[in-house]
Chains A and B, each alone.
Chain A
Amino acid sequence: KAGVTQTPRYLIKTRGQQVTLSCSPISGHRSVSWYQQTPGQGLQFLFEYFSETQRNKGNFPGRFSGRQFSNSRSEMNVSTLELGDSALYLCASSQDSNSLYNEQFFGPGTRLTVL
């Protein structure tokens, strides 16, 4: 089974621009979560989508948004980029079964640099 894929792997943008990142989950996985990783703040949860609906949301400004398509693929968008948005953005997918815990499988991430 193919793993979680994220595109693009690297991105350079300038302040004020917007960016869209894409994530394709493992086949059969219906939940997709996004995390931001920075040296200062570490790994922080952005949001989670399930069945095309946002189910959980972290503490990020409204410039950060996302969506999920009917095939479970997900995109996240950041508008009006700031220097502080430079980070590794990780996507994770899970099956969303009825078990106590659904393991999240992470993609390799998209490295965003804002100049």
Chain B
Amino acid sequence: EAGVTQSPTHLIKTRGQQATLRCSPISGHTSVYWYQQALGLGLQFLLWYDEGEERNRGNFPPRFSGRQFPNYSSELNVNALELEDSALYLCASSLARRPYSNQPQHFGDGTRLSIL
């Protein structure tokens, strides 16, 4: 079974540009989560998509946005890039949310975004 796949592996941008990161969940998973792992700051929750809709977002500015496609893959878009956006962006997927569901989140290898 293929795991969560993310592309690209590494992305280099300059300040003010826009970045698009992609994630394909494990087959059968409908929930996709995005996390930012900045150096020394651990993982911070960014966004959660389930069945095509944004269900929750973390404490990030609106320049961070995304979407989930009918095949449950997802994109994370970061507009007006700033130096502080340099980080590893991790995507995770899990089975569908339901009350009392406790499906573990399975992570991809991440996209390292470097802002020059």
A and B together in one complex? no
Name B's A-contacting residues (CB within 8 A).
none
